[in-house]
Amino acid sequence: MKIFIDIGAHIGQTLHEVSKEKYAFDKIVCFEPSSLCWDELKKIALEDDRIEICEFGLSNKNQDIELFMPGTQSGSIYKEEDHSIEKEEVETIKLHDACEWFESNTNADDYVVVKTNCEGSEVDILDSLLDGNIMKNIYCFLITFDIRNYEEFQHREVEIRKRLKKEKLTNFCFSDNVMIGISHEKRIENWLKLFGIDSQNKDVDSLRKSYEKEFLKYSSKSGFFSRWEIRIKRIFDYSNFPDWFKDILRFFKRILRLNRDRGLKNI
Range of the domain at 202: 2-223
What CATH number corresponds to the domain at position 85? 3.40.50
Nearest-angstrom CA–CA distance, 76 and 89: 11
pLDDT given at position 265: 45
Dist. CA 258–CA 252, nearest whole Å: 9
Does 236 map to a domain?
no
Residue 88: pLDDT band (50, 70, 90) is: low
CA angle 110–142–112, rounded 5-degree value:
5
Query: What are the tens digits of pLDDT across the range 98-137?
Result: 999 999 999 999 999 999 999 889 999 999 999 999 999 9
Q: How many separate domains does the chain show?
A: 1
In a domain, 233, yes or no: no
Q: Quote the pLDDT of residue 257.
A: 67
Asked, for residue 113, whether it belongs to a domain, the answer is yes
Q: How many CA atoms lie within 13 A of 64 on its CB side?
A: 3
| Domain membership flag for residue 145 | yes
Please indicate, yes or no, if residue 261 is contained in any of the structural domains.
Answer: no
Domain membership of residue 254 (yes or no) is no
What count of residues does the chain have?
Answer: 267
* Position with higher pLDDT, 181 vs 225: 181
Would you say residue 129 lies in a domain? Answer: yes
